[in-house]
Amino acid sequence: MHIQDITWQETISIRHQVLWPDKNSSFCHVDGDETAWHAGVFMDAELVSVASVFPDGNCARLRKFATLAQYQGQGLGSALLTHMITRVRDAGCVYFWCDARASAMEFYRKFGLQTEGDVFYKGAVSYFRMGVTLA
C-alpha cells in the first residue's frame, strides 16, 4: 500500500463506483475539484481508495472519500484519512470537517470528529456534519 497525490480526474471512477453507482459519472465531479487536494491509496498499481480535501482559509473540508468495496475494512481508508488530516494540519488549517453519511459516523469518531447539528438528507441518504479542531 502507498498513498500519493492524484488528480481530480483520477478520483472519478472510484467516486462513481462507491458513492453514486446509479448516477452518471459526470455527477461525481464537484465544484472546486480543480483546486482541491486529492490523494489515493494504491495496492500494487491499482488505485483503490480516494479522498479529496477542499481548503478554505484555515479550515478544510473532506469530501468524496471512498474505498472500493473489496478493500474496505483493511485499514486503507484509515491510513488515507490520517494522511489527509496530517496534510491539512501541516498546511495551517485549524478546523477539519465533513458531511458524514450516518452509516460512517463511528469511523469518523475514531479520528476525533464530533457530530455538529441534526441529521440532514441528500436524497434518501442521511448525513451529519462532523468536525474536529486541529491542535
Identity of the amino acid at 124:
A
Is the model's pLDDT at 135 over the cut of 80?
A: no
pLDDT in tens, 11-69: 999 999 999 898 888 888 999 999 999 999 999 999 999 999 999 999 999 999 999 99
Whether the Cβ atoms of residue 47 and residue 80 lie closer than 8 Å to each other: no
Indicate the burial class of 105 (C-beta count within 10 angstroms; 0-12, 13-18, 19 or more).
Answer: middle
Single pTM value for the model: 0.92
The CATH superfamily of 2-133 is: Gcn5-related N-acetyltransferase (GNAT) (3.40.630.30)
pLDDT in tens, 91-105: 999 999 999 999 999
State the pLDDT at residue 91. Answer: 95
State the pLDDT at residue 124. Answer: 87
